[in-house]
Chain A
């Protein structure tokens, strides 16, 4: 447990010292969302109707693009070798790294999302549901994405293949989260979707660190 927190603390401190890595996915998220009105036209009704989809697809892409920084620098400077060689269970250390990564890349998305939702014309009640789905959903994206990065971190050009591996696995999160927001817009109950997202989060927390650890060990050879 001590090692878990040591890793979280280390990664948070590292992120604070190279802030660009926090800012970049955030900027990407904001930019993609501003592109949509330019692409489909500034029609408030239309934008409002597709806002849940826009926000969630953009969040998905931003989360995916930020994944590379999860293990890349550790792989390049050999810190990952030391993690793998640690007598502590690797899956726990990996969970620590994912938590730290979500805190610096996922959480900012959640925080800025209400602002963008206002730009797209969502109501206050809908925004609160959007926040809940983002809070439950983005950690799942980080957890699932970690498996993909761990598999591709040893490759020189892993970026394209990473999206091919990870995006299909993001489908359930997208479906339930975007749908919850859409239903909230119509004033319908969304408990079922929220429960599904919570279940996915629990499942991902328990299951995802194992294949990630196995894939990291594989990437070392």
Chain B
């Protein structure tokens, strides 16, 4: 994936929202093949923390670094992919057109789009408009986006919502494979996750309340 060993680090992070301190002095180190699971109730700051890691929000204190550098660089963005609660796909375009745009924005890993779609059980949906897909199918499409782009760090906000049992299993399997290849994942989830590969670190945010 990348010649330098990837390393995502958060140091003394704090987030204040509407006069309420969501968390403070939060630190973590995430290395290759590791998973960071953020737990906590609604409103405990999970999504805020993810948005800080994406660089959308600035932390109110502390800093996030990628391989020792700032995360506002394109080098960081070339290595990370984010799947939020919004799918980020255009519903007037077809599955294939959406994936092609994603490829143009990031960089592909050379794998074929059809293979990726087959991997997430969307084979044969290439020319279907997104507006005709179910919520679960859209979720799986965003997994396909992760598969066709060569990103080392996945940041996933509630990846298991609106997925059925097989969908959840598939997601866990893909995450395990990603970790086995030296990738790293940050995710929030209400569900317990079961991975065959990857050391899982947990941060519980509700304790800071």
* Segment 168-221 of A: residues with Cβ below 8 Å from B: 217, 220-221
Distance, CA A70 to CA B82, complexed state (A): 23
Q: Are B77 and A78 in contact (CB under 8 A)?
A: no
Q: Are A6 and B104 in contact (CB under 8 A)?
A: yes
- Give 28 A-B contacts (CB < 8 Å), ordered by A residue: A3-B104, A6-B104, A6-B105, A10-B93, A10-B97, A13-B93, A13-B97, A17-B93, A77-B86, A77-B87, A78-B84, A78-B85, A78-B86, A79-B90, A81-B86, A82-B88, A82-B105, A85-B55, A85-B77, A85-B80, A85-B81, A85-B82, A86-B105, A88-B74, A88-B105, A217-B56, A221-B56, A221-B58
Q: Are B89 and A85 in contact (CB under 8 A)?
A: no
Q: Are A78 and B87 in contact (CB under 8 A)?
A: yes
Check A83/B93 contact, CB under 8 A, given A77-B88, A221-B57, A221-B58: no
6 smallest CB-CB distances across A and B, nearest first, come from A78-B86, A6-B104, A87-B78, A78-B88, A86-B105, A220-B56
Distance, CA A220 to CA B86, complexed state (A): 13
B104 proximity list for chain A (CB < 8 A): 2-3, 6-7
Q: Are B89 and A14 in contact (CB under 8 A)?
A: no
Q: Is A131 an interface residue (CB 8 A)?
A: no
Q: Is A18 an interface residue (CB 8 A)?
A: yes
Q: Is B101 an interface residue (CB 8 A)?
A: yes
Distance, CA A217 to CA B97, complexed state (A): 25
B74 proximity list for chain A (CB < 8 A): 87-89
Residue of B nearest to A220 (CB): B56
Residue of A2, A81, A88 touching B82 (CB-CB under 8 A): A81
**Which residues of B does A touch, CB under 8 Å?**
51, 54-58, 74-75, 77-78, 80-82, 84-93, 97, 100-102, 104-107
What is the minimal beta-carbon distance from B182 to any residue of chain A, in angstroms?
A: 20
Distance, CA A221 to CA B57, complexed state (A): 5
What is the minimal beta-carbon distance from B25 to any residue of chain A, in angstroms?
A: 21
What is the minimal beta-carbon distance from A132 to any residue of chain B, in angstroms?
A: 34
Distance, CA A64 to CA B81, complexed state (A): 34
Check A85/B54 contact, CB under 8 A, given A3-B104, A78-B84: yes
Q: Is A107 an interface residue (CB 8 A)?
A: no
A87 proximity list for chain B (CB < 8 A): 74-75, 77-78, 106-107
Q: Are A81 and B88 in contact (CB under 8 A)?
A: yes
* Segment 110-168 of A: residues with Cβ below 8 Å from B: none
Distance, CA A6 to CA B106, complexed state (A): 12
Q: Is A32 an interface residue (CB 8 A)?
A: no
Residue of B nearest to A88 (CB): B105
Residue of A nearest to B77 (CB): A87
Q: Are B92 and A17 in contact (CB under 8 A)?
A: yes
A93 proximity list for chain B (CB < 8 A): 105
Q: Are B92 and A77 in contact (CB under 8 A)?
A: no
Distance, CA A7 to CA B105, complexed state (A): 9
Q: Are B56 and A81 in contact (CB under 8 A)?
A: yes
A85 proximity list for chain B (CB < 8 A): 54-55, 77, 80-82
Q: Are B77 and A86 in contact (CB under 8 A)?
A: yes
* Segment 2-31 of A: residues with Cβ below 8 Å from B: 2-3, 6-7, 10, 13-14, 17-18
Distance, CA A116 to CA B57, complexed state (A): 48
B102 proximity list for chain A (CB < 8 A): 82
Q: Are B54 and A77 in contact (CB under 8 A)?
A: no
What is the minimal beta-carbon distance from B137 to any residue of chain A, in angstroms?
A: 15
Residue of B nearest to A219 (CB): B56
Residue of A7, A18, A79 touching B88 (CB-CB under 8 A): A79
Q: Are A3 and B105 in contact (CB under 8 A)?
A: yes
Residue of A nearest to B85 (CB): A78
* Segment 55-100 of A: residues with Cβ below 8 Å from B: 73, 76-79, 81-89, 93
Distance, CA A14 to CA B98, complexed state (A): 11
Distance, CA A10 to CA B98, complexed state (A): 9
Distance, CA A76 to CA B102, complexed state (A): 17
A17 proximity list for chain B (CB < 8 A): 92-93
